[in-house]
């Protein structure tokens, strides 16, 4: 599995820590930055990760910012991306099983490293259930088509 990751300055430390978790899982990592805790704007990093997922260059994406919200909002502007904000393993697993989320956004200022690692593992190990959820994901895709988002 190939995972695209990215963070702003607030998420930099957590991003670096999660790379250890991903490596231990045998995951190939494509790091789109940032490469330091120096202040940066988050939208370009979210876009890079989201485009890598949408274009099939990565299987899934993981983003970090202070609250996780900004990254999720920005990533969701890329057609084909379903970014979910999660702060624990259960939410991450549900985002995969019910929403076929392909990008995970984590709140670096509100999640400890152990919980972040468990949340990432749940996101990577969970699969989309399909069924009634498939219809709903198709409805989301129709909204994308209609709005051009």
pLDDT in tens, 46-97: 999 999 999 999 999 999 999 999 999 999 999 999 999 999 999 999 999 9
Q: Domain-by-domain residue ranges, the chain?
A: 2-147
Collect all residues with Cβ–Cβ distance below 8 Å to 23 and sequence separation of at least 6.
29
| pLDDT single digits (tens) 36-55 | 999 999 999 999 999 999 99
Q: Which of 9, 98, 133, 149 is flagged as catalytic?
A: 98
Q: Which of 9, 65, 133, 149 is flagged as catalytic?
A: 65
User: Is 149 marked active-site?
Assistant: no
* CATH for the 2-147 domain, from 2.60.40.3880, 3.40.1400.10, 1.20.1730.10, 3.40.190.10: 3.40.1400.10
pLDDT at 8 over 90: yes
User: Is 98 marked active-site?
Assistant: yes
């Amino acid at each position: 599995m190939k995972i695209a990751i990215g963070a702003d300055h607030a998420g930099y430390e957590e991003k670096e820590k999660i790379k250890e978790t991903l490596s231990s899982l045998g995951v190939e990592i494509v790091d789109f930055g940032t490469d330091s805790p120096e202040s940066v704007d988050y939208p370009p990093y979210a876009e890079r990760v989201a485009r890598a997922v949408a274009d099939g260059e990565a299987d899934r994406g993981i983003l970090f910012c202070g609250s996780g919200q900004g990254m999720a909002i920005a990533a969701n502007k890329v057609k084909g991306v379903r970014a979910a904000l999660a702060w624990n393993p259960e939410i991450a697993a549900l985002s995969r099983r019910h929403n076929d989320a392909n990008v995970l956004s984590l709140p670096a200022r509100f999640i400890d490293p152990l919980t972040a690692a468990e949340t990432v593992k749940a996101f990577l190990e969970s699969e989309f259930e399909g069924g009634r959820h498939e219809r709903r994901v198709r409805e989301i895709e129709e909204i994308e088509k209609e709005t051009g988002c």
